[in-house]
C-alpha cells in the first residue's frame, strides 16, 4: 500500500526566515529565564573544568597534556552529560509551552525532562554512534545523519516516543527538508558567531582595561557565550520540530498533546 506524501490542506511550507525569526522572538521574550536555565549547566561545566585542570590558572599552571588530559576529558563528558540533557530538555519543553500559547511552567518542564531522561540518553548515544560511523566513512554522511535525526529528542519529549521511534519520527519529519534545515543551521551559526565575536571583544577589552589574566578572560568569554548558545539552540530545535510537524501534517496537529500526560 502506498503512502501519500502530499502536503495536507492548510499546511504551510517550512520556511527558514519564519523559523529563525520566531526563535529570536521566543528567546528574547524569555531571555532571563532561558539564560538562567543555561547557567545551571554552564556553571558546573566551568567549575569541573577548573577542578580537572582543563582551564589554566595561575596556581595550576598550563593545561596538562598526554594521556591524562584525555582521561580528564572523558570524566568531564561523563559528569556533564546528565546536566546537559536535563537543561536542554527543560528548555525544549518550555519552548513548546510558549509555542502553544501556554504560560511557561519550569517545574512541569523539568518533570518532563526527568521522565524522558533515559530515552533521550539512548537517542544521544545512537546518534553519536551513527554520526561517528558516517564521519569515518566520509564527512558528508555524518552531516546527513545529523540533519536526519536533529529533532529526535524533541519528538521524544513532545510525543513520548522511545529512542528508535523518535529517530524514525525525526527521519520522517526531515525528509525532503534537509537542505532548508541546513540553511537554517547555517544562518543560525552566522548570527550566533557574530554575537560571540562581539561578546569576546567586549570581555577582552574589559579584561585588558582591568588587567585580568588572559586565561580568565578566555574562560569568561566561553562561559558567557555558552549562556547564549545553549538556550538559543534548544529554542531553535523546538521551533524547528513544531514547524516541520505543521508543514508535514497540517496546522491542526501543531499542539503536542502528550507533553504533560
pLDDT of residue 58: 42
C-alpha cell at 107: 517545574
Give the C-alpha distances (Å, rounded to integers) separating 228 from 26, 64, 79, 124, 231.
13, 29, 22, 22, 6
C-alpha to C-alpha distance for 133 and 130, rounded to whole angstroms: 5
What local confidence, expressed as pLDDT, does residue 60 receive? 44
The string of pLDDT tens digits covering residues 61-95 is 444 454 444 566 666 667 778 888 999 999 999 99
Q: Percent of the chain beyond pLDDT 70?
A: 71
Which are the contacts of 110, defined by CB distance < 8 A and separation ≥ 6?
Answer: 86, 90
Residue with cell 561517528: 132
pLDDT at 252 over 70: no
- Mean pLDDT of all residues in 16-39: 91
Domain boundaries, the chain: 24-253
Cell numbers found for residue 176? 525532503
Lowest average pLDDT, out of 53-62, 148-157, 170-179, 186-195, goes to 53-62
Q: How confident is the model at residue 23 (pLDDT cuts 50, 70, 90)?
A: very high
Average pLDDT estimate for 26-43: 89
Place of cell 540518553: 121
User: What would the grid cell of residue 66 be?
Assistant: 598526554
Half-sphere exposure of 110 (CA within 13 A, CB side): 7
Per-residue pLDDT band at 101 (split at 50, 70, 90): confident
Mapped onto helix, strand or coil, the DSSP state of residue 103 is coil
Instruction: Indicate the length of the chain as a whole number.
Output: 261
- DSSP assignment of 34-74: HHHHHHHHHHHHHHHHHHTT-S-BTTTBSPP-SHHHHHHHH
What phi and psi, each to the nearest 5 degrees, are found at residue 57? -135, 165
Question: Hey, what's the cell of 134?
Answer: 558516517
Alpha helical stretches, state H, the chain: 16-29, 31-51, 67-99, 106-115, 117-137, 139-148, 152-159, 163-174, 178-209, 214-249
**131 has pLDDT over 90:** no
For 61, phi then psi, to 5°, come to 85, -160
Only one residue has cell 524514525, namely 168
pLDDT higher than 90, residue 107: yes
For range 185-198, the mean pLDDT: 87
Percentage of the residues of the chain whose pLDDT score is greater than 90: 39
Nearest 5 degrees, angle CA 245-CA 243-CA 261?
55
Q: What is the mean pLDDT of residues 17-42?
A: 90
Nine-digit cell string for 43: 556553571
Average pLDDT over residues 150-159: 93
Q: What is the mean pLDDT of the segment spanning 141-159?
A: 89
pLDDT band at 260 (very low <50, low <70, confident <90, very high): very low
Mean pLDDT of 173-198: 89
Amino acid at each position: 500500500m502506498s503512502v501519500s506524501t502530499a502536503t495536507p490542506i492548510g499546511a504551510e511550507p517550512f520556511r527558514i526566515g519564519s523559523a529563525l525569526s520566531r526563535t529570536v522572538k521566543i528567546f528574547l521574550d524569555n531571555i532571563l529565564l532561558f539564560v538562567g536555565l543555561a547557567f545551571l549547566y554552564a556553571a558546573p561545566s566551568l567549575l569541573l573544568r577548573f577542578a580537572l585542570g582543563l582551564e589554566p590558572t595561575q596556581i595550576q599552571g598550563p593545561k596538562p597534556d598526554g594521556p591524562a588530559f584525555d582521561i580528564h576529558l572523558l570524566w568531564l563528558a561523563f559528569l556533564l552529560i546528565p546536566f546537559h540533557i536535563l537543561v536542554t530538555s527543560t528548555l525544549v519543553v518550555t519552548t513548546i509551552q510558549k509555542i502553544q500559547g501556554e504560560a511557561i511552567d519550569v517545574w512541569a518542564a523539568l518533570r518532563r525532562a526527568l521522565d524522558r531522561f533515559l530515552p533521550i540518553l539512548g537517542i544521544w548515544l545512537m546518534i553519536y554512534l551513527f554520526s561517528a560511523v558516517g564521519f569515518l566513512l566520509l564527512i558528508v554522511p555524518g552531516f546527513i545523519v545529523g540533519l536526519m535525526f536533529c529533532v529526535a529528542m524533541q519528538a521524544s519529549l513532545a510525543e513520548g516516543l522511545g529512542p528508535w521511534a523518535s529517530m524514525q519520527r525525526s527521519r520522517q519529519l526531515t525528509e525532503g527538508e534537509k537542505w532548508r534545515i541546513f540553511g537554517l543551521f547555517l544562518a543560525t551559526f552566522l548570527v550566533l558567531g557574530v554575537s560571540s565575536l562581539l561578546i569576546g571583544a567586549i570581555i577582552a577589552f574589559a579584561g585588558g582595561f582591568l588587567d585580568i589574566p588572559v586565561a580568565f578572560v578566555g574562560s569568561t568569554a566561553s562561559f558567557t557565550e555558552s549562556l547564549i548558545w545553549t538556550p538559543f539552540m534548544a529554542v531553535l530545535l523546538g521551533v524547528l520540530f513544531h514547524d516541520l510537524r505543521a508543514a508535514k501534517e497540517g496546522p491542526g496537529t501543531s499542539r503536542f498533546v502528550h507533553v504533560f500526560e
